Amino acid sequence: MLNQPRRILSLDKTQETSLVKKILKSPLGLAYNLVQHLFENKFNQIKDNLDTIKQFVAGIERTEHLEEYQLARYYPHFFAYHQYFHSSYRARQGKVLEALLSDWISIANPKLKVARSKKETYDLLKSVLPDYKSKLDLDVVVANSDAILCVQLRSRDDTGGTTAKSSLVQATRYMMRQSNIAPDSHIHYVVGIWDIRTRQQEMSTKKKWYQDLEQDLQDLFIDEATFYAQVSQGIALRPYLTLQLCYGYQDLAQVISEWANGLDINLLNKQITLIGESDDLWLAYLVAHLELESIELYGQNNIMMLNEALTKQDYSPKKLKELQTSQEHIDFANDLAQKIATEWRADFPFLHTLSEKIVYIRDLILLKFVYDSLSKS
């Protein structure tokens, strides 16, 4: 059971993972926040930060009148913890996709200019559209000598209503109305839907776009059928402006690569694979939840027991500085877990076998490594 692999990027100090750690900076930061709450037992802070609306709409105030019932006492902690995680994660998910594409493009072709701030985005667009003044957000903006690539990213096409669909082409409509254009320049505006499995709203998305752009398309004599048929391959809305809709990150990567005259898509796939192998976030999220439950429902603080057990082993935060790779940390945690498990007297209500118990202790130790490594850095 201890052969069950883990890849804790927060503990890996090698060059191999440096880029993906940069890409995952925001989710890894959330994982560390959860680890901090876990090892400093600050779950009450999350509960106390709930706004007053959730206090009564979500039933928090009601459970305070039922505190003789243990589950009712636990509910405010349970609700607050998961609400904190999901609201934090939702805001960070898009940042990963933006960083992933931006860093891939920068590394695959260092000659391209990739905007890293709103100011850089604004400056790049003004190089093609001198009168550009829009403050509309664009997720990825890239420039070469005479062309701009603008990418709007969405994880899927079935989130949000018509307003969300319209927002994807607001910047396109603004660009179509510009009259001052730098000579021999071009903007390729791409909307990428990352998850190809959620394609059920493709036609409604195209329909909403056409409705939003129809007034500006009249002089081009582009009817709905033509727009629907061509927008997935790239449709010229102005001599200087092309709009394209892509489904699936592979198609999006291919469009970006072709625009840049060839980028190494395997490099992008490698980073996506490394991201998919990361155990930092799910492990921190799950274990912190289980430990909150253990404290509130069973009165058992496994973190206190772990800290006490580690004082009897050959472990100190300084020892972590000698370890470089995630695997070295895992091997060390495996060794500690097997020694500690023989002395661990308390049960884990959610585990059923000795091997599961050892793996869980190992995972607690790995999160302890994350806490000690990042807290002392």
Residues 41-52 pLDDT 10s: 999 999 888 888
Residue linked to tokens 């061509």: 230
Angle among Cα 193, 194, 196 to the nearest 5 degrees reads 85
Q: What is the pLDDT of residue 161?
A: 61
Whether 141 contacts 115, CB under 8 Å: yes
Q: What does the buried/exposed string (b/e) look like for 174-198 if buried means 16 or more CB atoms within 10 Å of the residue's CB? A: bbbebeebeeebbbbbbbbbbeeeb
Q: What is the pLDDT of residue 232?
A: 94
DSSP code, position 115: -
Amino acid residing at 73: R
Report d(CA 249, CA 100) in Å as an integer: 11
Locate the DSSP E strands across the chain. Answer: 113-114, 140-143, 147-154, 186-193, 235-238, 241-247
Tens of pLDDT along 196-242? 776 778 888 899 999 999 888 877 888 889 999 999 999 999 999 99
User: How many Å apart are CA 356 and CA 335, to the nearest integer?
Assistant: 15
Confidence of residue 163 (pLDDT cuts 50, 70, 90): low
Question: Is pLDDT at 13 greater than 70 in this prediction?
Answer: yes
- Residue 105 to residue 256: CA distance in whole angstroms: 8
Q: Are strands 186-193 and 241-247 parallel, antiparallel or unpaired?
A: parallel
pTM of the model: 0.88
Taking the C-alpha atoms of residue 354 and residue 346, their distance in angstroms, rounded to an integer, is 12
Q: 214 and 166 in contact (C-beta within 8 Å)?
A: no
Task: Look at residues 262, 272, 225 and name the one whose alpha carbon lies nearest to residue 97.
Answer: 272
Enter the tokens of residue 23: 């890409």
Contacts of 222 (CB under 8 A, 6+ apart): 235
**β 140-143/147-154 pair status:** antiparallel
pLDDT in tens, 89-136: 988 888 899 999 999 999 999 999 999 999 999 999 999 999 999 888
